[in-house]
Amino acid sequence: MKILLMGNPNVGKSVIFSRLTGVRVVSSNYPGTTVSYTSGFMKIGDDTAEIIDVPGTYTLEPTSEAEEIALDMLKSGDVVIDVVDATNLERNLYLTLQLLEKKITLVVALNLWDDTKHRGISIDRKKLETILGVPVIATSGLTGQGIKDMAESIPSATTSDITPMSRDERWAFVGKIIDSVQTITHRHHRWFERLEDASVKPKTGIFIAAAVLAISYYIIRFVGENLINYVLDPLFHSIWLPLLTKLSVFMGGGGFLHDVIVGKIISGHIHFIESFGLLSSGLYVPLAMVLPYIISFYLVIGLLEDIGYLPRLAILLDTTMHKIGLHGFAIVPTLLGLGCNVPAIMATRVLESRRERFIAATLVSIAVPCASAQAMIFGLVGKFGGKYVAMVYGTLFLVWIILGFILNKILKGLSPELLIEIPPYRIPPWGIVFQKLFYRIDNFLREAVPIILAAVFVINILFISGIFDYVANFAAPVITGIWGLPEESVVAIVIGFIRKDAALGMLALSALTAKQMVIGSVVLTMFFPCIATFVVLLKELGLRDFLKSMAIMLISALTAGGILNVVL
C-alpha cells in the first residue's frame, strides 16, 4: 500500500511524516526535476505501507513545478492523508475539496490542533467529518497528539460523495463549511503575534533581520569551527594519520599507486590538504573541512525554517535582490556561502526558476569567499594592513553586484514576482529539528563524498600525465601580462583552479607586493573556491549551465584582476 501525505505548505506535514515513519527514510529527487520529496515506511497491522511526503501544494490546478509534481504523484497513491492547518481551515479546505471531488480515498488530519485554543479558534470536528464524509482526526505533530488515531484510521479512509464544482462554487462551499463548523472568539494579541507583524514592517523588520543574521552567522561559525578544532581535526590527526602513515610505508612511500591512494609525501609527511591522495585529501576535504559547516549550517537553517523566519527575510530583501535578477529568497544561499560554498549552492534549490538558481549559484561560486578562504585572505593580505583586506572584500562585493546586474540584463526571462504565504512563528520540536538535520547530513555524505573522491582521482591523473603543465604554460601570459603577477605565481594560480587553499599557501611563498597580493587573492577567490564546490556546482546546474558558469567565472576573474592591475 502507498500512502501520500498531502497538504498546503507550512502545515506541519513533515512533522506528521516523521512521527508516522520509522528509520528507513529516503529523500529523493523527483525524476527530471529539482523538486525533492521524502519517503519512508510504516506498519499498519501486519502490513508495511510506504508513505510519501508530497511537496506542499495549495491546489490541484498546478501553478508551479512543485505543484505539478504533487498532482502527478497523486496518481500513484492508494490512500491520501490530507494534512490541514486547523488554525487556517478556510484556505486549507480548498485543497481538501479538490481531493474529495477527484474521489480520492482520504483521511483528513486537522493538524496544529493544540494551536487553535490560544488563537481563539474552535472547530466542531464531528460536524466537519459529517460534511466531508471522510474521517477527520485532530492531530498535533508537536506533541504527538492524535498520531496513533491517525495511523489507526487509515484503513477506514474512504471517498466522499462531493461532486466536482467550479472554483467559485468551491470557495463558496468552503465558506459555508467554515460558517457551520468554526467559531472564533476574539482575543488580544500575544507578544508572539506582535513579533510576527514587526518582522514584516520595514523599520522593525530590518532591525530584526540584522540581528537574526548576525546571530546565525556566529552560531554557524562557532559550531563549525569547534567541530573542526575539537572533533574532526583531532580524529584525523590522532587516529587516521598513523594508520595512513603505516599504509604509506607499506606501499613503499612513493610511486604512482601510492600517490593516487595515499597522496604525495610533502617534506616527509602526509599532508591532509596538499598530499591530494584519495585516502588523505579525498577524505579530509569532505569530512573534516566541509562536513562541520554542513552540520552547523543545516542546524541553523533548519531552525530558521521551522520557526518560520525565512519567508520574512525574503520579503524584506526582495526589492534589492530583484535588481540582480534574484528573488528575496536568494539571500539565504548567498549568506551561507560565507561559511561554505557547498551547502550554499545546494541551498539554491529553494529558488523557483532555473534562471534564478543559475544566477545565485554562479554569484556564490565566484564572488562569495568561504570561511577557509577568508582565513587565508586575512592571513596573507592582512599583514600588509587592513586597507588591503578591505580592498579584497570591496572588490568581491562589487563583483557580486555588477555581475548580478549584468546577468539579470543578459539572461532571458524575468525573475518571477514574489507571492508567498508567511507562516506564523512556531516553536520547532527539537526531536524533529535533529531528525531533519540527520537526513540532510546523510544525504550530503551519500551524494558529495563519492563525487569528491572521483574528482581527486581525475585530478591526480591530470597532474601525473602532465596535462597540467601544458595548461600552466598556456595560462602564463595571462597571469603575468594581464594581472601583473610574477612568473613564479603561475603554478599557484593554475593549481588554484582546483585547489585554492594550497594555491594561497603557494602564493605566500613567492615574494609579492601588497598590490600583487590583493590581485592574487581576488583572482583566486573568484576561481572555484575548492574542489567540493566545483563538484556540487556541476551536479546542481547540469553540464551545460555548469560550463556557462565556468566561462562567466573565467571572464570575470580575468576582467576583475585586469582592472585591479590598472587601477591600483
Partner 1 sequence: MVKSLGDLHSEEAGTIIEIRGGQGLANRLNSLGIIPGKKLTKKGSMMLRGPVTVQINRSLVAIGYGMAQKIIVETK
Using CA atoms, how far apart are residues 195 and 197, in angstroms rounded to an integer?
Answer: 5
Query: Judged by CB under 8 A, does residue 191 bind partner 1?
Result: no
Place of cell 516523521: 18
Q: Which run of H or E residues covers position 151? A: helix 147-153
Using CA atoms, how far apart are residues 264 and 279, in angstroms rounded to an integer?
Answer: 11
Pick the stretch among 164-172, 212-220, 353-361, 427-435 that binds partner 1 (CB under 8 A): 164-172
For residue 352, CA distances in Å to 33, 315, 418, 419 come to: 12, 15, 10, 11
Q: Which amino acid type is present at position 437?
A: L
All three cell numbers of 377:
585572505
Q: Which run of H or E residues covers position 266? A: strand 265-266
- Beta bridge mates, 44: 47
By beta-carbon proximity to partner 1, the closer residue of 11 and 132 is 11
Applying CB under 8 A, which of residues 1, 44, 241, 420 lies at the interface with partner 1? 420
- Write down the least CB distance from residue 269 to partner 1, Å: 55
All three cell numbers of 70:
504533487
Nearest to 106 by CA among 65, 161, 68: 161
Applying CB under 8 A, which of residues 421, 442, 469, 487 lies at the interface with partner 1? 421
Applying CB under 8 A, which of residues 17, 30, 37, 94 lies at the interface with partner 1? 94
Applying CB under 8 A, which of residues 72, 129, 149, 196 lies at the interface with partner 1? 196
Using CA atoms, how far apart are residues 175 and 424, in angstroms rounded to an integer?
Answer: 22
Q: Residue count at the site for partner 1 (CB under 8 A)? A: 34
Q: Which amino acid type is present at position 540?
A: E
All three cell numbers of 500:
585554492
SS3 at position 123? strand
- Write down the least CB distance from residue 202 to partner 1, Å: 6
Using CA atoms, how far apart are residues 71 and 30, in angstroms rounded to an integer?
Answer: 12
Q: C-alpha angle with apex 116: 143 to 74, nearest 5 degrees?
A: 75
Which one-letter DSSP state was computed for residue 157?
Answer: -
- Write down the least CB distance from residue 18 to partner 1, Å: 24
Applying CB under 8 A, which of residues 124, 152, 197, 469 lies at the interface with partner 1? 197
In DSSP notation, 50-91 reads EEEEPPP-S-SS--SHHHHHHHHHHTT-SEEEEEEEGGGHHH
Using CA atoms, how far apart are residues 85 and 106, in angstroms rounded to an integer?
Answer: 16
Touching partner 1, residues 26-65 (CB under 8 A)? 58-59, 61, 63
- Write down the least CB distance from residue 74 to partner 1, Å: 16
Pick the stretch among 128-136, 137-145, 165-173, 486-494 that binds partner 1 (CB under 8 A): 165-173
Query: Judged by CB under 8 A, does residue 469 bind partner 1?
Result: no
Query: Judged by CB under 8 A, does residue 417 bind partner 1?
Result: yes
- Write down the least CB distance from residue 58 to partner 1, Å: 4
- Write down the least CB distance from residue 92 to partner 1, Å: 9
Q: Are 274 and 290 in contact (CB under 8 A)?
A: no
Q: Are 159 and 182 in contact (CB under 8 A)?
A: no
By beta-carbon proximity to partner 1, the closer residue of 274 and 318 is 318
Contacts 24+ apart (CB under 8 A), 264-272: 270/241, 270/244, 270/245, 272/236, 272/241
Touching partner 1, residues 102-141 (CB under 8 A)? none
By beta-carbon proximity to partner 1, the closer residue of 55 and 205 is 205
Applying CB under 8 A, which of residues 424, 486, 505, 562 lies at the interface with partner 1? 424
- Write down the least CB distance from residue 204 to partner 1, Å: 9
Touching partner 1, residues 489-548 (CB under 8 A)? none
Nearest to 325 by CA among 350, 360, 352: 360
| Start-to-end CA span in the chain (Å) | 68
Pick the stretch among 106-114, 147-155, 166-174, 401-409 that binds partner 1 (CB under 8 A): 166-174
By beta-carbon proximity to partner 1, the closer residue of 202 and 252 is 202
- Write down the least CB distance from residue 322 to partner 1, Å: 9
By beta-carbon proximity to partner 1, the closer residue of 404 and 529 is 404
- Beta bridge mates, 42: 49
Nearest to 248 by CA among 285, 281, 279: 279
- Write down the least CB distance from residue 497 to partner 1, Å: 40
Query: Judged by CB under 8 A, does residue 227 bind partner 1?
Result: no
Query: Judged by CB under 8 A, does residue 401 bind partner 1?
Result: no
- Write down the least CB distance from residue 470 to partner 1, Å: 51
- Write down the least CB distance from residue 90 to partner 1, Å: 5
By beta-carbon proximity to partner 1, the closer residue of 44 and 418 is 418
Q: Are 359 and 327 in contact (CB under 8 A)?
A: no
Contact mark string toward partner 1, 297..336, x via CB under 8 A: --------------x--xxx-xx--------x--------
Binding site for partner 1 (CB under 8 A): 58-59, 61, 63, 87-91, 94, 167-168, 171, 196-197, 200-202, 205, 311, 314-316, 318-319, 328, 417-424
